Amino acid sequence: MQDIDLRQLRCLVAIVDEGTFTDAAIALGISQAAVSRAVASLERALGVRLLRRTSREVTPTATGVRVVAQARRVLADVVDLVREATSGHTRLRVGYAWSALGRHTVAFQRRWSAAHRDTDLHLIRVNSPSAGLAEGACDLAVVRRPLEDRRFGTALVGLERRLCALAADDPLARRRSVRLADLADRLLLVDRRTGTATPDLWPPDSRPATEETHDVDDWLTVIAAGRGIGVTAESTANQYPRPGIVYRPVRDAEPVAVRLAWWRDDPHPALQAVLELLTELYRAG
C-alpha cells in the first residue's frame, strides 16, 4: 500500500480518458516519461497488468477497468476531503435533531443569506444527541438537551414552551392547555437519544408509561392514530403541523432550553455571528 500514491492514480485515469500516454501527459502537464513511470510503478505495486498497449491505442485490461473505476472514486473522495477541510469560510452546516428553530427557521435562513452572501447556510437533520456535530455532519448544532461531551461548547440562545401533541379527536384536544397530571395515565412516546420529554417531568408516583420512538415522522403517525401522546418543544409544532394532530401548551411544565453547540478546539468562523442572530430572534419572540 505504501507504493501506491495519488499521482499514479491520476496518470492511470488520464491515460484511459485521453487514449494515449502522450495526450495524458499533456492533460496533466507533465512529461510522457513521468506518466509511463507512474503507471509502470502502479502495476508493479499491484502485481497486475492494468493497460493493454498496441501501436495504435492503449486500453484497460479487465482488471484495469475495475481499478480505474475505483481510482476515480478515490480521486473524487480526495477532492471532497480538500473541500471539506477548506470550506469553513464558504459553507455553514447547522445540524438539528427533530426541529430546527421552529418559527424562527425561515427568518434565520433569510437574514443569514442577506447578511452573509459568501457563506452558504445548510440546515441538516441528524437524530443523534449532538445533532450531527460528533458525526462530522455539521459545523454547529442546535440542541435541546444538555451535551455532556466536554469536546463541545454550548450557549443558550432561547427558551421554547413545552407542548403536548394529541390526536385531534382526543378529549384533551378540546382544551386550550393541559397539565402534566392530565397526561399521567397516557402512553408517552419518547426518544431517549434526542427527545426533550422524559418521565422525570412527572412526580415519581405518577409517571406515565412510555414507548420509545426514533423518528419524528413515526412519532407523529402513532399520535395521529390515538395510540399515544407526545410532549415536545414548541418548535416541533411549528416545524411539523400535521392533519389529525393538535398541540396544546403544558402550562405547568418548565420550558425547553435551546442551545447552540460547537467544537471547542475548532469553532466555525461564523460561530459568533450565528450566536448573535439566534439570540436576537429568540429574544424578539
Coil, helix or strand for 33?
Answer: helix
**Confidence bin at 1 (pLDDT 50/70/90):** low
- Which of 217, 166, 218, 213 is closest to 193 using CA atoms? 213
Q: How far apart are CA 147 and CA 158, in angstroms?
A: 16
Q: How far apart are CA 142 and CA 45, in angstroms?
A: 48
Q: At 273, phi and psi to the nearest 5?
A: -65, -40
**pLDDT tens-digit map of 137-179:** 999 999 999 998 999 999 999 999 999 999 999 999 999 999 9
Tell me the pairing of strands 120-125 and 91-96: parallel
Report the pLDDT averaged over residues 39-47: 93
Report the pLDDT averaged over residues 41-45: 93
User: Which pLDDT score is estimated for 82?
Assistant: 80
Taking 70 as the threshold, does the pLDDT of residue 89 lie above it? no
The C-alpha cell that represents 153 in the structure block: 461548547
**pLDDT tens-digit map of 115-131:** 998 899 999 999 999 99
Contact 197, 255 (CB under 8 A): no
Taking 60 as the threshold, does the pLDDT of residue 8 lie above it? yes
User: Which pLDDT score is estimated for 88?
Assistant: 57
**pLDDT tens-digit map of 210-256:** 999 988 999 999 999 999 999 999 999 999 999 999 999 999 999 99
- Which of 261, 275, 278 is closest to 105 using CA atoms? 278
For residue 120, the number of C-alpha atoms closer than 13 Å in the C-beta half-sphere is: 5
pTM value is 0.72
User: Which pLDDT score is estimated for 53?
Assistant: 86
User: Which pLDDT score is estimated for 3?
Assistant: 77
Strand partners, 166: 246
Distances in Å between the alpha carbon of 46 and those of 19, 35, 63?
Answer: 22, 17, 11
